[in-house]
């Protein structure tokens, strides 16, 4: 939000009935979480079943969680305002979205509380709940569509993009891992594999979090005879039904400390120790070895593979507590983003500039810097839109294939 906005100009982008409705709004859309408990119970009892049946096979778990939160917030606002949430009046939905668009952060009145994409998702959640009950969606009404269009016009600022993790940044993050040995050596090994896999595989944070040992196999490059990892992706953002059996290959790195196969071997050894002997075996292994032996020697050359791919879905990236104990449950996608931010801060970088997507965008940008074409980048990153990849290439080298270099200045 900027102080230069003219209220009259802002009002002109919204339908007249929405402008009138906004004048009578008495409650903020940012409602205290504690006050929503009764609404959540009501939602669970009356509506969760229908919504779940309708959406379970069509949306990802993350989308379902977001829709549930969005619907609860809309219902709470309607209760506070004396409006009906189901079926909702289209004007009420439009007023709610406009009020949400007007809301600023409590800790920073110069910044919007909700982004346009979040408002679009809120509208989608309202539409989904109505569809789950066999009701016409109020978001199809012109008043709602015009309101969303007005919000988009009002918010023409470029979306804040996370900085890519390039190769030199990746090495800086790896340098900030905890020390080898017990108890920090477990996180050191896991996080090396996570950073290298996310970068070399151009994986999304949700894809990293969902990986199990059943999805990873050690194989051999038929051209060079060198080891490589084959990572099979089940459900992804662009393949919700896992129809395409997407797979990425992670080749041996030139140096041991940036080699995904070596990192996998070191981490798998520790997980095997946990499985066979519990925390005591993990501690003994960490105390007996110096995290990879000679740092100049590739461990993957003599790595026989692991039997952790046993059909149990054992998480590749489980949680690890401060005592070095390896858990059973996988970390979340949000935890992946926080891990990247944490290492960026330790490396003296701005943590707010980095996130889970930094590894994926870093792959594309670094590959473009290395001379890779858009087809090669799209194959590893599973991008289907060449324009996305072209954006990374332009970021990597804005003067490449650019007539400005021929001006003779």
Q: What is the pLDDT of residue 86?
A: 87
Can you tell me the distance from the alpha carbon of 121 to that of 237, in angstroms, rounded to the nearest whole number?
Answer: 16
Cis ω for the linkage preceding 387 (within 30 of 0)? no
Q: Which of 195, 178, 189, 187 is nearest to 324 (CA)?
A: 187
Long-range contacts of range 133-138, CB-CB < 8 Å, 24 or more positions apart?
133/47, 133/50, 133/86, 133/87, 135/86, 135/87, 136/87, 138/87, 138/88, 138/89, 138/90, 138/92, 138/93
Q: CB of 74 within 8 A of CB of 125?
A: yes
Q: Concatenated DSSP letters for 36-96?
A: GHHHHHHHHHHTHHHHHHHHTTTS-HHHHHHHHHHHHHHHHHHHHHT--BTTBPHHHHHHH
* pLDDT score, position 1: 45
Residue corresponding to tokens 């007996």: 288
Token pair 């005592």 is found at 323
- pLDDT at position 242 is 47
The residue whose two tokens read 């079943």 is 49
DSSP state letters, 251-316: EPPSSGGG-HHHHHHHHHHHHHHHHHHHHHHHHHHHHHS-SSSSTTS-GGGG----S--SSS--BS
What structural domains does the chain harbor? Answer: 7-154 (1.10.150.130), 167-358 (1.10.443.10)
How would you class 90 by CB atoms within 10 Å of its CB: exposed for 0-12, middle for 13-18, buried for 19 or more?
buried
Q: Distance between CA atoms of 351 and 338, rounded to whole angstroms?
A: 9
Claim: this prediction has a pTM higher than 0.75: no
pLDDT of 131 reads: 85
Query: In whole angstroms, what is the distance from residue 253 CA to residue 286 CA?
Result: 24
Q: How far is CA 261 from CA 60, 212, 306, 317, in A?
A: 30, 16, 12, 15
pLDDT of residue 56: 57
- The CA distance from 197 to 170, in Å, is 11
- List of the chain residues with pLDDT < 50: 1-11, 33, 239-242, 291-292
Tokens for 298, please give them: 């590739």
What pLDDT score was predicted for residue 46?
53
């Amino acid at each position: 939000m900027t102080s230069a906005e003219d209220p009259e100009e802002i009002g002109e982008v919204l339908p007249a009935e929405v402008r009138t409705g906004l004048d009578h709004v008495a409650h903020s859309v940012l409602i205290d979480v504690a006050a929503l408990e009764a609404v959540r119970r009501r939602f669970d009892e009356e509506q969760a079943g229908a919504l779940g049946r309708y959406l379970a096979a069509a949306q990802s778990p993350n989308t379902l969680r977001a829709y549930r939160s969005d619907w609860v917030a809309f219902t709470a606002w309607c209760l506070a305002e004396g409006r009906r949430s189901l079926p909702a009046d289209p004007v009420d939905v439009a007023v709610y979205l406009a009020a949400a668009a007007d809301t600023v952060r409590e800790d920073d009145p110069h910044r919007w509380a909700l982004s346009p994409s979040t408002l679009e998702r809120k509208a989608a959640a309202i539409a989904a709940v109505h569809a789950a009950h066999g009701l016409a969606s109020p978001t199809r009404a012109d008043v709602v569509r015009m309101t969303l269009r007005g919000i988009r016009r009002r918010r023409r600022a470029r979306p804040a993009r996370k900085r890519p993790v390039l190769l030199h940044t990746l090495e800086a993050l790896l340098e900030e891992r905890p020390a080898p040995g017990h108890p920090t050596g477990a996180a050191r090994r896991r996080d090396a594999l996570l950073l290298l896999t996310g970068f070399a595989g151009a994986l999304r944070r949700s894809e990293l979090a969902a990986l199990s040992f059943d999805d990873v196999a050690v194989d051999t490059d038929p051209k060079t005879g060198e080891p490589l990892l084959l990572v099979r992706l089940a459900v992804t953002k662009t393949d919700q039904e896992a129809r395409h059996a997407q797979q990425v290959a992670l080749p041996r790195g030139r140096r041991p400390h940036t080699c995904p196969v070596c990192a996998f071997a070191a981490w798998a050894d520790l997980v095997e120790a946990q499985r066979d002997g519990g925390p005591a075996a993990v501690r003994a292994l960490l105390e007996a070895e110096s995290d990879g032996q000679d740092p100049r020697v590739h461990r993957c050359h003599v790595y026989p593979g692991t039997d952790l791919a046993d059909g149990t879905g054992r998480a590749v990236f489980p949680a690890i507590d401060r005592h070095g104990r390896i858990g059973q449950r996988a970390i979340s996608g949000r935890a992946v983003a926080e891990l990247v931010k944490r290492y960026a801060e330790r490396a003296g970088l701005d943590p707010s500039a980095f996130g889970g997507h930094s590894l994926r965008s870093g792959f594309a940008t670094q590959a473009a810097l290395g001379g890779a074409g858009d087809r090669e980048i799209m194959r590893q990153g599973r991008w289907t839109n060449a324009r996305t990849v072209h954006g990374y290439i332009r970021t990597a080298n804005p003067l490449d294939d650019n007539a400005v270099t021929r001006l003779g200045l």
